[in-house]
Amino acid sequence: MNHGIPHRPWQVLLLGGPSGVGKTSVSYRLAQHFGIGITEVDDFQVVLERMTTPAEQPVLHYWRTHPRAGDLPVEEIVKHTIAVGQVMVPALAAVITNHIESRAPVILEGDFILPMLATAFSDSSQRNPVQALFLYEDSEEQFRRNFMQREPEHGPQEKRARVSWLYGQWLKHEAKRVGALTIAARPSADLFERIVTALN
């Protein structure tokens, strides 16, 4: 028996939230805590884009095929971010199924994880092998501070902060609608402890 490894009823933990909310740093602590692997979902987006053509997957290739897409209104950028997540659902579902069947626990972390992904594995007859948790930040200003601290060379990223805040609010609403866990990213000092408590 692994006396040092905490019990967990799930095989796959989905950790979602907008860019800049603090997912990555806490996800590595969680992986170490539970003694399991971690995969960044953003990497799957890169692979899928490389393995397809713009004709096959126009949503995944949108930013490369539309150089001025960054000039779109914030709301349109958020809609496109959601669309990318929707396109990735089948691929992520296949990865999740593989980890469940092989009993290889993992944490999947990334911006493109949508709450709807967790509901695909719900089964009232047994414990859900997939646990989803979404971090949120209600302060748009905090996103600006986070990006400035993380990437000072880019200066103030007003639009990016607005996109993250708006996308985060959508994720929070959708997560609550489907019954997925939502946790405030602040205070960051006890975020790890709060997540572990919520998962238990």
CA distances from 160 to 25, 126, 134, 168 (A): 20, 41, 19, 12
Torsions phi, psi for 72 (to 5 deg): -65, 155
Whole-number pLDDT of residue 1: 44
3-state helix, strand, coil in the chain (%, to 5): 55, 10, 35
Query: What are the residue boundaries of the structural domains of the chain, listed by start?
Result: 12-199
pLDDT for 57: 97
Top CATH class of 12-199 equals alpha beta
CA distance 172 to 168: 6
Work out whether the CA dihedral 200, 173, 106, 23 comes out positive or negative.
Answer: negative
- pTM of the predicted structure, to 2 decimals: 0.93
E strands, the chain, are 12-16, 37-40, 106-110, 130-136, 181-184
Q: pLDDT value at position 106?
A: 97
Per-residue pLDDT of the chain (200 residues; tens, 9 = 90+): 455 678 898 999 999 999 999 999 999 999 999 999 999 999 999 999 999 999 999 999 999 999 999 899 999 999 999 999 999 999 999 999 999 999 999 999 999 999 999 888 876 445 689 999 999 999 999 999 999 999 999 988 999 999 999 999 999 999 999 999 999 999 999 999 999 999 98
For residue 176 the two structure tokens come to: 């609550």
Alpha-carbon gap, residue 75 to 83, rounded angstroms: 12
